[in-house]
Amino acid sequence: MKLSYKLYPFQNSDQNQKPIGDFIILHGLFGSSKNWATVAKYLSDFGPVYAVDQRNHGDSPHNEEHSIQVMASDLETFLKDLNIQNPILLGHSMGGLVAMYFDLTHPGVLQKLIIQDIAPRTYPFAYEKEIQSMSFPLHGFTSRTEIDSEMAKYVHDTFIRQFLQMSLERKEDGSYHWKLNVFGLDHARRVFEDVFNFENHSVTKTLFLLGGNSEYIRQSDYAEMDRLFQNNQKVTIPGGGHYIHFTHQKVYLEQLGNWLKNEFV
């Protein structure tokens, strides 16, 4: 599948500074490249950045097949089509699972790996409320405020609703539609199961950026991180949850920048 993406060219105020490599950002479930503009602009100080829309998200095509494995295949096609060599791959949540699976099944392809707040294990599809909040008919709604009020019946968290609504688009005729393939994602509820049931391990230099209060990381995950990614560093952002690139953006970018600078001195 040909994926949509946004390119942030390498821009550094130091004319003598050379790019350290190409960056690729893989968003999480219900996200898109649009959610990563600030991080992408920050990383463009280090090299060109490709913020990707994964299948069934953003401006990329919809398809009934949705799995970590097939998204890793999409990434392989993306790298070949754009002739990107040894990229630095950043993946969040679902995108982190894709990134880890890709690295484990394509040894030596990545230069570095950055994983945000997800571990290499099976996760439940615990997004019934989010799916419901995007499944009611949108005809007759004349504003985002009206849609948000209806969504609030299913999802009480304003932050999550605002996050989901980044994929809500208004057409020229004034009607609204979801850029997400809501139906397809609803029927891919096993997407996070049995992804890492093999014995491969990686020696790619890996950074795990974790939220200190995240519900996605448990104590037993650290051993699996070490077993599968044998050259890793873990950085935990105190008080952070799953969306630390939003909620703790300043310290997140500082930690990301420090790691990159230390890796390329």
Q: How many CA atoms lie within 13 A of 218 on its CB side?
A: 5
Boundary-marking domain end, from 164, 186, 208: 186
Q: How many CB atoms lie within 10 A of CB 17?
A: 11
Tell me the per-residue pLDDT of 10-69, one tens digit each, with 9 for 90 and over.
998 888 889 999 999 999 999 999 999 999 999 999 999 999 999 999 999 999 999 999
Mean pLDDT of 201-222: 97
* C-beta separation of 194 from 122 below 8 A: yes
| Residue pLDDT, tens place only, 152-169 | 999 999 999 999 999 999
- Single residue among 141, 162, 186 that ends a domain in this structure: 186
174 shares its domain with 198: no
CATH code, 236 = 3.40.50.1820
Tally of domains in the chain = 2
Question: For residue range 112-145, what is the model confidence (pLDDT) as tens digits?
Answer: 999 999 999 999 999 999 999 999 999 999 999 9
Q: Which of 19, 14, 36 has its CA nearest to residue 27?
A: 36
What is the pLDDT of the chain when averaged over all its residues?
96
CA 75, CA 73: separation in Å to the nearest integer?
Answer: 5
Chain centroid offset of residue 260 CA: 19
> By C-alpha distance, which of 163, 164, 158 is closest to 133?
164
Task: Let me know: does 209 contact 114? Beta carbons within 8 Å.
Answer: yes
Give the separation between CA 173 and CA 184, rounded to whole angstroms: 25
156 and 205, same domain (yes or no): no
In the prediction, which pLDDT does 78 show?
Answer: 98
Nearest-5° Cα angle at 6, 65 to 190: 20
Judged on CB neighbours under 10 Å (0-12, 13-18, 19+), 139 is: exposed
**pLDDT tier for residue 265 given thresholds of 50, 70 and 90:** low
Q: Looking at the structure, do residues 205 and 115 belong to the same domain, yes or no?
A: yes
Q: Token pair for residue 212?
A: 């200190």
Rounded to 5 degrees, φ, ψ at 130 are -65, -45
Residue 118 shares a structural domain with residue 144: no
Instruction: Give start and end residues of each alpha helix (H) in the chain.
Output: 37-43, 68-82, 94-105, 128-133, 144-151, 158-164, 182-186, 221-228, 244-247, 249-263
pTM: 0.96
List Cα–Cα distances, 219 to 100, 201, 234, in angstroms: 19, 20, 13
Parent domain of 198: 5-124+192-263
Count, residues in the chain: 265
208 in the same domain as 117: yes
Same domain, yes or no, for 135 and 229?
A: no
Give the integer Cα–Cα distance in Å for 117 and 112: 17
